[in-house]
Amino acid sequence: MTNNVTGSCLCGAVKYQVIGPLRPVVACHCGQCQKTSGHHVAATSAKREHFQLLEEGGLKWFFSAEKIRRGFCQQCGGNLFWDSMTLPTISIFAGTLDQPSGLELVEHIYVEDKADYYEITDGLPQRHGFNITSKVDDGE
């Protein structure tokens, strides 16, 4: 299934579109996601060739590890992207998608690092580390 979705940061200084399939949403509970978002992150991903920035005037990249960068808006502070430059996909924070997205949450990763103030009780798979079972599908 091919999607044509758009999204943006809160102020609109960063806008993007994806023309192609999106991976189902995965919640990441790692320490870095907690520090950048204030909680855990829910993200989808798309193949790079299906992703296009429409407005990038506010976009700023921060390298959080070697070959891993996080994209955010330097004007409103909105977290938008997680980008491992070694993967063929870019992760997109699901809350930045214009609705309806048609996506669903399918699993939790890095659950060993989750904060102590909440429990994961939705019955979805919980994984240690970055072992995502859901991949972007070409729809073929």
pLDDT above 80 for 56:
yes
How high is the pLDDT of residue 110? Answer: 94
| C-alpha dist (Å) from residue 116 to 14, 31, 85, 102, 126 | 33, 12, 31, 31, 16
Query: Tens digits of per-residue pLDDT, 4-44?
Result: 999 999 999 999 999 999 999 999 999 989 998 999 999 99
- Contacts of 30 by beta carbon, 8 Å cutoff, 6+ apart: 109, 110, 113
- Contacts of 59 by beta carbon, 8 Å cutoff, 6+ apart: 13, 14, 53, 71, 72, 73, 74, 80
How high is the pLDDT of residue 140? Answer: 30
CB-side exposure of 112: number of CA atoms within 13 Å?
Answer: 5
Q: Model-level pTM? A: 0.88
Give the strand pairing for 15-19 and 4-8.
antiparallel
DSSP state of 98: P
Residue 46's pLDDT band, with cuts at 50, 70 and 90, is: very high
Query: Tens digits of per-residue pLDDT, 97-106?
Result: 999 999 999 9
Q: Where are the domains of the chain?
A: 4-21+40-106
Fold (topology level) of 4-21+40-106: 2.170.150
How high is the pLDDT of residue 139? Answer: 37
Give the percent of the chain with pLDDT over 90.
83
Query: Tens digits of per-residue pLDDT, 105-140?
Result: 999 999 999 999 999 999 999 999 875 444 544 433
